[in-house]
Structure 1
Amino acid sequence: MANRQREIQLKFRVTPEERALIEAKMDLLGTANMAAYLRKMAIDGYAVNLDLPELRELVSLLRRSSNNLNQLTKRVHETGRFYDADMEDLRQSYDRLWEATQKILRALMKIQ
């Protein structure tokens, strides 16, 4: 009997769908050794949850800002006037966008 370097065996069950997903990912990496793949993923792999409420907030801010900018552009074309209050509203809107972007970047930097 050969002396094995790895003497502890781990077992777990998967559904046929999960096995197909594992095999598809192995194909993408060009590996056929499932044990080596699963060992590598268990040790070095990442499980990342990117459900960031900050991202939803950023999308909402972007949508509102683009609507406000479109309305302002339409009014300037119609009246030829641009007010200081309009510029202040735009500046505040972009400040909120930048703050939301920074929150997301900080959250992403925490992912190791």
Structure 2
Amino acid sequence: MTRKRVRSEAICLWLRPDELALIRERMAEAGIRNMSAYLRKMALNGYVLNVDLAPVRELVSLQRRCANNLNQVAIQANTYGGIYPQELARLQKDYEALWGPLSDLLKKLAAVVEL
């Protein structure tokens, strides 16, 4: 049984060895292993965007901790009828720690969008 190709047109590209090495280097920088996919992306869009999601993972971790702390305070307030000022101060500190990196990440994303 033969499969029909989704892309049925081929383009032949001749390169010097140094040009091929540069393309492979840029593919590695972008984290792309498939040369056909890389060349197609570059030809159609002109750029490949490689995003490091480590800051987002850190923000998700901070958000989970803040949500957990807020849940504990809500349980405390509902069960015992009140909360301690120290708990509110700790929550405020956690949310401040969350908003600083979030603001930095949003600035970086805005700079990427301007490109």
- The alignment's TM-score, normalised by the length of structure 2, stands at 0.58
Find the counterpart in structure 1 of residue 83 from structure 2: 82
* Greater relative contact order structure (CA < 8 Å, 6+ sep): 1
Find the counterpart in structure 2 of residue 49 from structure 1: 50
Q: Does 1:106 align with 2:100?
A: no
Q: Distance in 2 between matches of 1:10 and 1:89?
A: 61
Contact 2:42 2:48 in 1 (8 A): no
Question: Deviation of residue 96 (structure 1)?
Answer: 1.0
Q: 1:16-45 CA distances to partner (integer Å, 9 max, x unpaired)?
A: x876x69xxxxxxxxxxxxxxx5x943753
Query: What runs of 5+ residues in structure 2 fail to find an aligned partner?
Result: 1-11, 16-33
Q: Which structure's CA Rg is the greater one? A: 1
Find the counterpart in structure 2 of residue 26 from structure 1: none
Q: 1:79-109 CA distances to partner (integer Å, 9 max, x unpaired)?
A: 1112211111111111111112112112213
Q: Percent of pairs identical after alignment?
A: 36
Q: 1:32-91 CA distances to partner (integer Å, 9 max, x unpaired)?
A: xxxxxx5x9437533112223211110000110111111110011111112211111111
- One-letter code aligned to 1:100: P
Contact 1:54 1:103 in 2 (8 A): no
Structure 1: 4+ residue segments shifted above 2 A: 9-12, 40-46
Q: Does 1:65 align with 2:53?
A: no
Query: What runs of 5+ residues in structure 1 fail to find an aligned partner?
Result: 1-8, 23-37
Secondary structure of 1:47 counterpart:
coil
- The alignment's TM-score, normalised by the length of structure 1, stands at 0.60
